[in-house]
Amino acid sequence: MRTEGQTFAADTITSPARVVNVTQIMGKHFVVSKTQLAVNPIGFSNAFLYEAMKASREVMRNFEVSFFRSSGGSASGGGVTATAAGTGRVMKSFDDFLTSEKHKVSSTTLGGADFASGASATTLREVVFNTLIQRLWENGGNPNWVFTAGPGKRTISSYDGTIVAGASTITINENASSNTIQRAINSYITDFGLINVALDRFVPKGGTGTNLDGAVYILDMPRTQIAILRPVAFERLADDGDRVRGMTLGELSLKVMNQDSHGRLSALSSIA
């Protein structure tokens, strides 16, 4: 608020802090003998192109694994170099970026039962799930995607939509015309918007007891980006004697803006 006729008075401005990451190179090298090229294989027409296809898929898979890797990459803490000479750069994962909204599923801050401060893995209750979504929205985010492994997906699919009940009644949708019972939830409508629930086999699924690796990531996807320096591409190299060589390689990084808009729940039991 300003008063009438007020003289100029500069407001205090907070300069944004730059959050950095490094690019990570993923590649796959392969060789195929010229005999393998000459024969007639079963299931595919060309052994070299088959290996090229596999290599491309493996490289893209390895990038996805890195996005959900536990924290500790060479870019952690703002560093920009590899950990040691001859060691490849390791980009930050979501775990490295997220600092404010990382909670255990038993967090009393989110309405969970403490369970000895989360010393043991336990089930993700609906009230905890919804409370974290609310906190992300209050932080200025618009969370719209959830990524989780099998146990987390089954847990979310069991929610009955009544937060207080804590998923005491399993959601079942029946389609009598096709004799189908649907017990899966791929979209979850909250007071803070529609949440898409994605099953991802590379998100840590955790275990039981003191295994606290099981996780659920709640992300504001427009505030994340895959920054591609070199797209994943295949290149045929010069022949090496009686064999042909190929390489699939890509270089990219993960970009996360406003880490307060994203959250992670950990210590999720692998038993839904």
Least reliable range by pLDDT among 96-105, 175-184, 186-195, 262-271: 175-184
Q: Answer whether residue 182 shows pLDDT above 90.
A: no
Three-state DSSP at 224 gives: strand
Supply 55's token pair. Answer: 């290599």
User: What region does 226 belong to: left with phi over 0, alpha with psi -120 to 50, or beta?
Assistant: beta
pLDDT band at 18 (very low <50, low <70, confident <90, very high): confident
Whole-number mean pLDDT of the chain? 85
Least reliable range by pLDDT among 11-20, 112-121, 252-261: 112-121
17-37 average pLDDT score: 92
| pLDDT value for 166 | 45
Give the separation between CA 144 and CA 133, rounded to whole angstroms: 9
| pLDDT value for 77 | 46
Contact 151, 271 (CB under 8 A): yes
Give the separation between CA 194 and CA 137, rounded to whole angstroms: 12
202-229 average pLDDT score: 88
Distances (CA, A) of 120 to 114, 116, 166, 256: 10, 8, 19, 30
Contact 123, 105 (CB under 8 A): yes
CA atoms within 13 A on the CB side of 230: 13
Contact 224, 254 (CB under 8 A): yes
* Burial (CB count <10 Å: 0-12, 13-18, 19+), residue 60: middle
Give the separation between CA 70 and CA 213, rounded to whole angstroms: 9
182-207 average pLDDT score: 89
| pLDDT value for 69 | 86
pLDDT band at 258 (very low <50, low <70, confident <90, very high): very high
Nearest CA to 146 among 119, 126, 160?
A: 126
| pLDDT value for 240 | 93
| pTM exceeds 0.75 | yes
pLDDT band at 70 (very low <50, low <70, confident <90, very high): confident
Three-state DSSP at 90 gives: coil
